[in-house]
Amino acid sequence: MTLREIINQAINREISWPKSLATVFSIIFLRIFLENFSSTGPQSSFTLISGVFLHIPLFYISIIASLFLAILFFAKLEIKQAINLGVLFSPIMCLPPIVDLIFTGGAGANTAYLFFNNFREAFFDFLTFFGKFVDPGITLGMRIEIFLVLAGVAYLIYLKTRNIKRTILGAFFCYIVFFIYLAFPGFIVVLFDHSNYLALNQDGGSSAFSLVLSSLFSGSLLKTIHFSEVLSSNRAVLFNQQFDILCSRILWLVLLFQGGLIFYLKNKQSFFPWLNNLRWERVLYYLALSVLGMFLGLSLYLFGYSFGFIDFLGLLIFFVLVALSFWLAVGINDQADLKTDSISNPDRPLVKKTITDKEQNAINLFLFVAIIIGSLLINCWVLILLLLFQGVYFIYSSPPFRLKQAFGLSSLLVGLNALVITMAGFYFVSPQQSLINFPKNVLIMLLFGFTLGVNIKDIKDYEGDKADNINTIPVVFGLLWGKRIIAALAFLALLAVALLTSLKGIMVASLIFSIIFFLLINRRDYEEKSIFGAFFIYITICIISLITR
């Protein structure tokens, strides 16, 4: 059978996406296993949990996704065809360690990212197919693997398009993809080499890079807060742990973008309705709560760290995780609320059938996996609290319990989740990673305030909740008296905060905004957006009070 026949047969093969993913993951872990025998130097982190289960799989999956998108564009294939080809040729990933072991007589060759002193050297490495051979570095086996992939991509593009220019451009673009993936830590080091370590090491060796990155790690949260494994007292192992997390954070963000792009390309008719259903005002609500929690943690634990690139990256991922957690909860809730939304929110995509239930399940699964992996890149308590957030919303929204129908208890659950997100922000920055370190008086105050205040959400959904027998305050007492009761509860919640806090700024703001919320809720032309606007102003004042305490 010729290569052309193999490719054509692979393109038309029927393989479910779970089996495709399982195959690729199996190949990746086989590559990791073989790498343990061929790359055993001090730079190797294949035996670390942070490397084996985060950094290395994310690296390979992200490269595969990038090549997959490139093939889609240059070879003009359908998504299913490109996936089939990727699965068929994925075993080539196991080639480098085998080649390195053979050519070194069993000694192996240590793999690493590209090291260079400046962008001129990086350009030289780009022109010379990854530059000279160094140990650790880009090994012979890796170069052969990349050459074979580029040759295969070029052959595929030419086979499908018969266009030489497109073939050359496609292969060149894929080479750029490989180079960027293998050099991105080097670019970071060159950009942040404020201490001129690279200038002191003209050979561009790994020791200079370690010094530059170690200086970045020592001033970040990575020196105190980590989860996937216990921080080692061995400096070399500790460096590898921190390096794994840094690279994994970058790759996680890239993969998240790639996942969204694949979703868009696969089904544009579903992508835009989903995008329009993201409910940004509620995302900002939870982000504001998380920021409040961060400044609460910083105000209680003043410890030395400089907020630099690494922590900015962590903060960006944390904010994305909060948004993803809310969107996952929204997806699950919308599936359970079809009857309610058909009356109160007829424009929702599941109601209009612009997104099918099967598509929503796939989106939910992707978001859940992204949340788990992203949380592992922050710390233990962020992972636990975001899982708790999902668990609470699930029993709130979905059968068999669907506790949103339980009068009073539903508000407690939504209030609890507001507290959970605030605590997640607290533990994102707190060096004390223990539940008992969250101030109990603040916990009680926030839970009480959120439980009373979150009833505001039920005003907008009055008609749908009434039809679906969901016993909210407006449904039980009628819309007019329901609004009055909810306004009174919001007033009481902020009054309680004013009485319990020791900060004058928060006390005064709570008293003022208790009146503002009461008036906004009871307006004849009630608008939820005005409530959110007032809330964001109130939270901003609270944060400023924590900063200046």
Does residue 262 lie within any of the structural domains? Answer: no
Structure tokens at 477: 């007492």
- pLDDT tens digits for range 497-508: 888 888 899 999
pLDDT band for position 46 (cuts 50, 70, 90)? low
Nearest Cα to 381, choosing from 471, 475, 318, 467? 318
Q: Are 214 and 271 part of one and the same domain?
A: no
Quickly state the pLDDT bin for 16 (edges 50, 70, 90): confident
DSSP state of 91: G
3 state SS of 250 = helix
* Residues 474 and 325 grouped into a single domain: yes
| Same domain as 368, residue 237 | no
Give the tens place of pLDDT for each residue, 222-253.
887 776 677 777 788 888 889 999 999 999 99
pLDDT digit string (tens) for 336-379? 988 888 888 888 999 999 999 999 999 999 999 999 999 999 99
Residue whose pair of structure tokens reads 């595969």 in the numeric block = 64
Rg, the chain, Cα only: 27
Query: What pLDDT sits at residue 197?
Result: 64
Among residues 108, 175, 117, the alpha carbon closest in space to that of 140 is found at 108
State the pLDDT at residue 228. 63
Which range, of 217-226, 251-260, 325-334, 418-427, averages the lowest pLDDT? 217-226
User: Total domain count for the chain?
Assistant: 2
Residues 520 and 371 in one domain: yes
Whether 135 and 159 share a structural domain:
yes
Q: pLDDT of 470-484, one tens digit each? A: 888 999 999 999 999
Ordered alpha helix ranges (H), 377-503? 380-397, 409-429, 440-453, 457-460, 462-467, 473-477, 479-500
Could you tell me what percent of the chain has a pLDDT over 70? 94
Higher-pLDDT residue of 321, 454: 321
Which residues pair with residue 111 across a beta bridge?
137
In a domain, 421, yes or no: yes
Tell me if 152 is assigned to some domain. yes
Distance CA 121, CA 124 (A): 5
d(CA 453, CA 455) in angstroms, rounded, equals 5
- What's residue 31's pLDDT? 93
Tell me: do 156 and 218 sit in the same domain: yes
Tell me: do 169 and 273 sit in the same domain: no
- Band (pLDDT 50/70/90 cuts) for residue 519 is very high
| Mean of pLDDT values over 465-471 | 83
Q: Are residues 96 and 170 in the same domain?
A: yes
pLDDT tens-place string over residues 68-85: 999 999 998 888 888 888
260 falls within a domain? no
8 Å CB contact between 199 and 117: yes
Residue 4's pLDDT is 73
71 located within any domain = yes
- Tell me: do 283 and 246 sit in the same domain: no
Range of the domain at 101: 3-254
Give residue 1's pLDDT band: very low, low, confident or very high (50, 70, 90). Answer: low
The 10 Å CB-count burial string (b at 16+, else e) for 177-206 is bbbebbbbbbebbbeebeeebbeebeebeb
Task: State which of 140-144, 207-211, 399-403 shows the largest mean pLDDT.
Answer: 140-144
89 and 232 part of one domain: yes
| Residue 39 is assigned to a structural domain of this protein | yes
549 has pLDDT over 90:
no
Residue 261: inside a domain: no
- Are 21 and 124 found together in one domain? yes
Average model confidence (pLDDT) across the chain: 89
Which has more confidence, 331 or 208?
331
Average pLDDT over residues 55-60: 95
Residues 318 and 409 in one domain: yes
| Per-residue model confidence (pLDDT) at position 177 | 97
Q: Which of 254, 281, 313 is the last residue of a domain?
A: 254
If we measure between CA atoms, which residue out of 395, 399, 393 comes closest to residue 418? Answer: 393
Asked whether residue 209 is domain-assigned, the answer is yes
Q: What is the pTM of this model?
A: 0.92
Q: What is the pLDDT of residue 203?
A: 53
> Mapping DSSP to helix (H, G, I), strand (E, B) and coil, where does residue 107 land?
coil
